Amino acid sequence: MKTYLVGGAVRDKLLKYPVNDRDWVIVGADIEQLLARGYTPVGADFPVFLHPQTKEEHALARTERKSGKGYKGFSFYAAADVTLEQDLSRRDLTINAMAEDSKGNIIDPYHGQRDLEDKVLRHVSPAFSEDPLRVLRVARFAARYAHLGFSIAPQTLTLMQQISASGELAHLTKERVWQELERALMEKSVLVFFQVLSAVNALPILFPTLSQLLNNLQQLSLHQDSDIAQRLATLDSAEKRIAWLFYVSQIHSKNSADNTLALDFAVQLRCPNQTKNLIQHASQAFPILCHWQTSTASDKLSLIRTADLLRNKLRLAPLLEVVTALDSGTRFEHNDYLQQFTALIDNLRNIDHQSLISKGFSGAKLGVEIKRLQLSLCDTQS
């Protein structure tokens, strides 16, 4: 029984990147042996175990065979006779198909080190095309390493195009697709992810609304595109970045980023409700805050109520971060509109409902009076 460090940990170590997660493969053992040594099984799809001391994930070396549709349509064989080379052969890219033994020696049967030096993202074998999720994964790696000069091998691009044409992408669950998008949004060169998907004809299938978003963003000049990267880097979550990208694409296409467009966009992404809300509310908030002095009391109150900023205090900070990143740095830097907006929310929260009830307001009349007071505060805060 031998244990090897594999995959991304080996790749990033060679790239001198921080290694955050470590994956291990065990060769020469079976399930019964691992259980006898105190390993704890996790997951139902294939034999993965937690190490009894480190609690890191260890997988038995395995082979796989296509047996159905989508990325789950595989049957696995894991036993003591499966070799390390066989296990590595099922991986997506050569740079992810390397292993390191206990003495620090690199096992590299598919020339991943050479492709790292040449800065090429290359598939390991023709079996690459059996897993449609790999289209998203390769696009994400392209976004991660584009700043280092990495590109996708032409043969790999061809296989990705074939996957798009095969109909296999339709068998990916929306939730799994969102997980890959969420990770891609946090990569260094976010737009490269969309550009790769567009180049292999996967973008209209996976993210119909993002096709137009990408077209709009690509109309910007190189200087502005650099500015996009810099401003995206100020946002620390995928939900903030996708809300920012949506609104920026609408601004530069001279479209009206209204709530209907934002909602349609979010629904097609199948993103979590928290992300959907931020996309909608940032779209609504930016024009109001940009024209704070001339925005109507009704528009201000509508934003605050729609975004549920009176009851849910956690929504305000991410909303203001996205709005600030949307600005070029002049509108909010030299004005106190954001502070006025925050102060208005505090004033609205301080309306004493109990005092109004003691004055005889109740039912519908109480609601009318509260709204009148809220509009009055919104009108004076300009």
CATH topology (fold) of 1-118? Beta Polymerase; domain 2 (3.30.460)
Find out whether 212 and 254 touch, Cβ atoms under 8 Å. no
Q: Could you tell me whether strands 40-42 and 23-27 are parallel, antiparallel, or unpaired per DSSP bridges? A: unpaired
Question: Where does the pLDDT of residue 162 fall: very low under 50, low under 70, confident under 90, or very high at 90 and above?
Answer: very high
Per domain, the residue ranges of the chain are 1-118, 119-202
Q: Cα-flanking dihedrals φ and ψ of residue 131, to 5°?
A: -115, 105
Phi, psi for 305 (deg, rounded to 5) = -75, -45
Q: State how far the Cα of 52 lies from the Cα of 1, in Å rounded to an integer.
A: 16
pLDDT in tens, 94-119: 999 999 999 999 999 999 999 999 99
User: Which of helix, strand or coil describes residue 124?
Assistant: coil
CA-to-CA distance for 142 and 189, rounded, in angstroms? 8
* pTM, two decimal places: 0.83
- The pLDDT of 15-33, averaged and rounded, is 89
Task: Give the rounded percent of residues in the chain with a pLDDT score beyond 70.
Answer: 87
pLDDT bracket for residue 221 (50, 70, 90):
very low
Task: Compute the distance between CA of residue 378 and CA of residue 365 in angstroms, rounded to an integer.
Answer: 20
Residues ≥6 apart with Cβ < 8 Å to 344? 300, 304, 377, 378, 381
Quick one: pLDDT band at residue 222, thresholds 50, 70, 90?
very low
Which residues are within 8 A (CB) of 20 and not within 5 positions of it... i.e. 6 or more apart?
A: none
Q: Which CATH class for the 119-202 domain?
A: mainly alpha
Model pLDDT for residues 226-285, shown as the tens digit of each residue: 567 777 888 999 999 998 888 877 765 555 445 677 787 888 777 888 999 999 898 888
